[in-house]
Amino acid sequence: MDSIEIQKDSNFIAELESTLENDGPYSSWELFSMAYQAELTTMTPEFKGLRALEYLPHIQFLDHQIDAAEQVIETMNGRAILADEVGLGKTIEAGLILKEYMIRGLVKNALILVPASLVNQWVRELNEKFYIPAIAHRKNYNWDQNIIISSLDTAKRSPHREKILDIEYDFILIDEAHKLKNHKTKNYEFVRSLKKKYCLLLTATPVQNRLIEIFNLISILKPGHLGNYESFLENYGKGRNQIKQDAYLKQLIQKVMIRNTRKNTTLNNTKRNIETVWIDFKPEEKEVYQDLEETASTFSSFSKITFLREICSSREACYLSLKKLMDEGNGESQIQPIISKIEQLPHHAKAEKLVEIIKQFGDEKVIVFTEYRASQLYLQWYLKQHGISSVPFRGGFKRGKKDWMRQLFQNHAQVLIATEAGGEGINLQFCNHLINYDLPWNPMRLEQRIGRIHRYGQEKDVHIYNFATKGTIEEHIMTLLYEKINLFEQVIGNLDAILSELNISSMESELENIYNESTSAGEVKIKLDNLTSIIQNSIDETQGEQSYGYS
Amino acid sequence: MAIANLENFLQNYFIFHRCEILENEDGLLKIQLTEEMDRALMNRPFYWHYIKKIGQKGEPMQLTLITNPEKREEKGDWVHFGSPRLQQIINHLKENEKFTRLFQKVSADKNTAMYPWLVVNLKISYKGKHKKDEVISIGLQLVNGKMRLEMMDYLKELPLQTAISDYCYTISPLIRLQSGYKRIEAVISNYLENQTHGWAEESIETLHEEIQTLKHFYEGRTEEEEQMQKEIEEIKERYQPVISCEVINGGLFYLTE
């Protein structure tokens, strides 16, 4: 009892006295007793449990989301890493936790740091779903607002930095926290110096690639939980193999990290239907493709691959790159004839296929992903010729424009044509058809694309169509890489961990190297075979340690 | 005494604020606000500022509240326990209905004495790793010092009004308000001391554990002393057990005994 601090209400009786002296104003019995009833209604009579659920009757929470929120509040005491796989609703979990703390009066002010492109989305989710009056930070705003959302990049810069570091926050949330895995960065140093009570770190990328990275994240929440830096390195080294062997370490990590995977949640309900759509080049297109392949000597092998990939996507994409190369004064004699041929090409076989497939959907929404800006523009124009409305989407769009395009798509257009960077941070669950017009060479990006629609909130089965042109580089990638390691069916949440363990920093350059260093198609095949079997092998190995957090 | 029927609660709230109920059917409540309630709830200070400046009376708005979830598609605010509108109303109540002075209504034909009671409704919050609240309602008779718990439930059964009834007169308190309040505080302290506070012990244990862990982390890193102190403060802030008593509302009640 002695160690408990007691705070009394020292103002009440004096205020009552002065009200009596002034002879009022007095409450009527009815309103007086209603205020008492209101307090009885809003108080929280139990230490445990989520009161927030009664406050949010319009949200259908999934079991794993409620479990996660309870676990963070009740056993992790408000400091945790939420590392669910993409699309399982980390934002929902975080919102629920924040709401619960606010209802219990434990959080009055909060700082929420998210990537700049997601600020508006966070504001919208917290306002509309959770009735949390969060606001986006704008120029000249004070940082001591109740619930404020900003980007880490803004917050860490002067003069914001100094002001923020002066404030004691009840709650700090950092989205995309894998940016903090390196303790030598400004981001890391900044986040560590924030004054905070509760703290959530959100990341979709499994951070268990490198033990030292997880050590760094945990040191923000609970310094010393995994020992100090020196002892940790000594015991576990920098690798990640240790983690499998060390059940104790795994247990320690589970005390601060929650990782739900699709496997252990109920989200399996909506299925992914994957279909490969093969396209045959028209003879003219085939000729250009072969010309490009044969003029190899002129181009650096890197650009050769690029041109081949481009011609599989659209005339326009390839034309622009070739033209650029020529304008820079290279190989005019070889390029000019190809360019002339490209100019004569009819509409692209793939584009025709695209129209055909979209028409089959009736008026259902479709997202089309392409790797190239030029193809994006071409497709927009080409769809319009066939009476199909579409909106473009690019990573380079400003926040407001992204929101606007998303709305246009939801309410007016049938198709959203996105380039690669558009894949991140926009939720399109209202759509369940996705067409990979051309395949990325980085499987992580593929997962991000699919994650836009196959995520929490999707109510229908998701249909994914992968376009690939026969007899081209696309066929190789499709059959030798993607189909072989079953990338479409299984969620590849842990693929980047696997790649980094195999020391493959970029899948894309790995593939380019294979093409560049091989002299024949047979050699390419053998090398791709090797690569896929190594990856497949690692996937099998890591299946066992998949479920990281509680399960 | 918690709000059992939201529909009635809302209706009463507006009736007691002298607003006209335009419609009340099947979970749909339509109210004509008064100027006072418009200012309190509709968040349009500029309108009122402007309208008064040009010497007009102003037109208070109408409000439609929907408590029946099946009607939530209709025009109006869907009100449930988490909705911003109900939170606003609850906050408005908590802020404005703090003090009162009331008299028991009696129909007497001879002189009747009315005894003063100090009534205090308290919220006690226990905060360690987690938090819970408890509400206590206490009345203290300021002449003979008699104390009564669950005072609100007792008062609920009595007819109460803002003016004293005919033929009634008030007895002056022998116990001053300040000392009366001290007696109530003493009772609360006693109540708290006689509880076992397992929650606080657990919390302190975690507090010590985490500080130990933290110190281990910073071993041999004297240059980070400041950072360590900051983190120790954060741990204390998070786990140090605190019991806080906050008065919800209270007042002076004149009752027949």
Which residues share a beta bridge with B140? B118, B147
> Are A189 and A221 a contacting pair, CB within 8 Å?
no
d(CA B1, CA B155): 12
Residues in chain A within 8 Å Cβ distance of B214: 223-224
A219: closest chain B residue by CA: B217
Q: Using a CB-CB distance cutoff of 8 angstroms, which residues of chain B are in contact with residue A224?
A: 213-218
- The C-alpha atoms of residue A303 and residue A291 are separated, in whole angstroms, by 14
Q: Stretch A178-189: mean pLDDT, rounded?
A: 87
Determine whether the interchain pair A4/B132 forms a contact, defined as Cβ–Cβ distance below 8 Å.
Answer: no
Helix, strand, coil fractions of chain B, as percent rounded to 5:
40, 30, 30
β B28-32/B20-25 pair status? antiparallel
Residue A482's pLDDT band, with cuts at 50, 70 and 90, is confident
Q: Interhelix angle for B225-239 vs A186-193, to 10°?
A: 50
Residue with the larger pLDDT of the pair A63 and A446: A63
Q: How high is the pLDDT of residue A551? A: 30
- Other CB atoms within 10 Å distance of the CB of residue A206: 22
Claim to verify: residue B145 and residue B248 sit in the same structural domain = yes
Nearest beta carbon to residue B133 from set A43, A197, A219: A43
Which of chain B's residues have a Cβ under 8 Å away from the Cβ of A222?
210, 213
CATH fold of A61-264 reads Rossmann fold (3.40.50)
Q: What is the pLDDT of residue A244?
A: 54
Out of A20, A40, A105, the one facing B2 most closely (by C-beta) is A40
CATH class, domain A271-279+351-543, is alpha beta
Residues in chain A with CB shorter than 8 Å from the CB of B215 are 224
Same domain for B140 and B83 = no
**Is residue B103 domain-resident?**
yes
Residues B151 and B189 in one domain: yes
Chain A residue with minimum CA distance to B221: A228
Q: Which residues of B188-206 are buried (b: 16+ CB within 10 A; e: fewer)?
A: beeebeeeebebbebbbeb
Q: What is the pLDDT of residues B34-87, one digit of tens each?
A: 999 999 999 899 999 999 999 999 999 999 999 888 887 788 888 888 888 999
pLDDT tens digit sequence for A47-104: 999 999 988 988 889 889 999 999 999 999 999 999 887 778 899 999 999 999 999 9
Which chain A residues touch B137 with a CB distance below 8 Å? 36
Chain B residues within an 8 Å CB radius of A40: 1-3, 135
Task: Tell me which residue in B16, B241, B252 faces A30 most closely, judged by beta carbons.
Answer: B16
Which of B46, B71, B96 is the last residue before a domain boundary? B96
Final residue before a domain boundary, out of B96, B111, B131? B96
Which tens digit of pLDDT belongs to each residue from A270-281? 777 888 899 999
Residue of A nearest to B153 (CA): A33
Instruction: Report the pLDDT value the prediction gives residue A424, as an integer from 0 to 100.
Output: 52
Nearest CA in chain B to A131: B84
CA distances from A164 to A101, A170, A203, A454 (A): 21, 13, 23, 37
pLDDT in tens, A133-149: 899 998 777 777 789 99
What are the φ/ψ torsions at residue A92 (nearest 5 degrees)? -65, -45
CA A271 to each of CA A92, A209, A460: distance values in angstroms, whole numbers, following the listed order: 21, 28, 8
Q: Are residues B168 and B216 in the same domain?
A: no
Candidates B16, B197, B218; nearest CB to A4: B197
CB atoms B252 and A52 under 8 Å: no
Which residue among A37, A192, A224 places its CB closest to the CB of B213? A224
Measured between CB atoms, does B136 come within 8 Å of chain A? no
- Verify that B61 and B174 share a domain, yes or no: no
Residues of B whose CB is below 8 A from A227: 216-217
Q: Which tokens is A221 given?
A: 């929440």
Are B2 and A37 in contact (CB < 8 Å)? yes
CB < 8 Å to A195, chain B? 230, 234
Q: Tokens at residue A538, please?
A: 């690692």
Yes or no, beta carbons of B234 and A56 under 8 Å apart = no
Would you say the ipTM is above 0.90? Answer: yes
CB contacts of B251 in chain A (<8 Å) are 16, 26-27, 32
CATH 3.40.50.10810 domain span(s) along chain A = 61-264
**pLDDT value at residue A548:** 38
Report the number of distinct structural domains present in chain B.
3
Tokens 């007899």 sit at which residue? Answer: A471
Tokens of A310: 């481009």
Query: Is A26–B247 a contact, with Cβ atoms under 8 angstroms apart?
Result: no
| Mean residue pLDDT across chain B | 93
Enumerate the β-bridge partners of residue B254: B103, B116
Which chain B residues contact residue A16 at CB under 8 A? 99, 177, 250-252
B109 and B68 in one domain?
Answer: no
State the residue for tokens 């095949």.
Answer: A525
Q: Residue B207: closest CA among chain A residues belongs to which residue? A: A77
State whether residue B9 sits within 8 Å of chain A by CB.
yes
What's the rounded Cα separation, in Å, for the pair A77 and A68?
12
The residue ranking higher by pLDDT, A207 or A353, is: A353
Token representation of residue A323: 């033209």
How crowded is residue A502: how many other Cβ atoms within 10 Å of its Cβ?
Answer: 14
pLDDT of residue B210: 93
Same domain, B60 and B105: no
- Residue B1 inside a domain? The answer is no
Nearest to A16 among B17, B99, B197 (CB): B99
Q: How many CB atoms lie under 10 A from the CB of residue A486? A: 13
Q: Name the least confident of A356-360, A500-504, B68-72.
A: A500-504
Per the CB < 8 A criterion, the answer to whether B31 and B20 are in contact is yes
Chain B residues whose beta carbon lies within 8 Å of the beta carbon of residue A197: 234, 237-238
> What does the alpha-carbon distance between residue B203 and residue B175 come to, in Å, rounded to a whole number?
40
| Tokens read off for B248 | 């919800």
Contact check, Cβ <8 Å, B192/A6:
yes
Of the listed ranges A33-47, A110-124, A354-368, A476-490, the least confidently predicted one is A476-490
Are B153 and B251 in a shared domain? Answer: yes
- Quick one: average pLDDT of A164-172? 94
Q: Which of A11, A33, A231 to mutate to test the interface with B (most CBs of B within 10 A)?
A: A33
Same domain, B76 and B176: no
Q: Give the minimum alpha-carbon distance from B109 to chain A in angstroms, rounded to a whole number.
A: 25
User: Is the per-residue pLDDT at A547 higher than 70?
Assistant: no
pLDDT, tens digit (0-9, with 9 covering 90-100), for B131-149: 999 999 999 999 999 999 9
Q: Do A26 and B251 touch (CB under 8 A)?
A: yes
CA distance A392 to chain B (A): 33
Other residues' Cβ atoms within 10 Å of the Cβ of residue A290: 12
Interface list for B 209-228 with A (CB within 8 A): 210, 213-219, 221, 227
From the CA atom positions of chain B, what is the Rg in Å? Answer: 25
Residues 75-134 of B with CB under 8 A from A: 80-84, 87, 90, 93-94, 96-102, 120-123, 125-127, 129-134
Asked whether residue B42 falls in the same domain as residue B104, the answer is no
Determine contact: B198 vs chain A, CB below 8 A. no
Higher pLDDT pick, B78 / A537: B78
Residues 18-57 of chain B whose Cβ lies under 8 A from any Cβ of chain A: none
Does B135 share its domain with B249? yes
pLDDT higher than 90, residue A25: yes
- Say which of A48, A193, A228 has its CB closest to residue B219: A228
Task: Say if CB A227 and CB A519 are below 8 A apart.
Answer: no
Query: What residue numbers bound the domain in which B211 lies?
Result: 198-240
**Cβ-Cβ contacts under 8 Å, A46 against chain B:** 132
Is the same domain home to B151 and B235?
Answer: no
Residue with tokens 């033209």: A323
- Is there a contact between A375 and A440 (Cβ–Cβ < 8 Å)? no
- Count A/B contacts: CB-CB distance under 8 Å: 214
pLDDT band at A421 (very low <50, low <70, confident <90, very high): low
Range of weakest confidence among A293-302, A365-374, A435-444, B23-32: A293-302
Q: Which residue has the tokens 């806080």?
A: B244
Residue A445 pLDDT exceeds 90 = no
Last residue of a domain, one of B96, B128, B153: B96
Q: Which two tokens stand for residue B205?
A: 């244990």
Q: Which of B100, B135, B218 sits opposite A40 (nearest CB)?
A: B135
Between A484 and B104, the more confident residue is B104
Measured distance CA(A459)–CA(B93) in Å, rounded: 41
